[in-house]
Amino acid sequence: MHERTIATLDDLERTDWFSSVGKRDSVRANFLDSWGEAVASCEGEKWKALREEAASQYRLRLTERDMERFRAWNALVREIKATTIPLVLGKIKGVVEDNNLPQGFINAVQWDILHLCMEAEYADIFPPGFYAAQAYWYSRGHFPCGWEGDFPGGRPIVF
């Protein structure tokens, strides 16, 4: 694992996730008012499709720029998951229990954090983008859970 990925994980560990949910503390996003709305948004097909497309486009750019390095993708995913899964489960445990959040929420956060780390891992080949932007909201204590408008126009939906 690259040192910048380790640094990303360290930053995530130090951050107090979900400490600002429900606060409207930026004009750069459309804010939701409840966990129910946030979960519905994060489980929506439009948001799932956008996140999958962002990951797919990132992988495509990697194959165009360095196919040899890209061949390590699956091995790196396995290595990074060994760290991200326990990190995410520890960070979300309280909020999941307190709000009875479903597996879809857990899956969404796991996906975001894994792909953030993959962007960090390959940042020397192609710059981080979509998932680094999601990390901004996690680091501010919010939950990024959707997109308003046609990407890349529009703005994020967060709780």
Report how far residue 141's alpha carbon sits from residue 149's, in angstroms, rounded to the nearest whole number. Answer: 23
Look up the pTM and report it.
0.94
Q: Tens of pLDDT along 25-50?
A: 999 999 999 999 999 999 999 999 99
The domain containing residue 104 runs over which residues?
Answer: 3-158
Number of independent structural domains in the chain: 1
Q: What is the pLDDT of residue 87?
A: 97
Assess contact for 129 and 58: CB atoms under 8 A: yes
Q: Tens of pLDDT along 80-97?
A: 999 999 999 999 999 999
- Reported confidence tier of residue 101, pLDDT bands at 50, 70, 90: very high
For the chain, give the percent of residues with pLDDT over 90. 99
Assess contact for 146 and 46: CB atoms under 8 A: yes
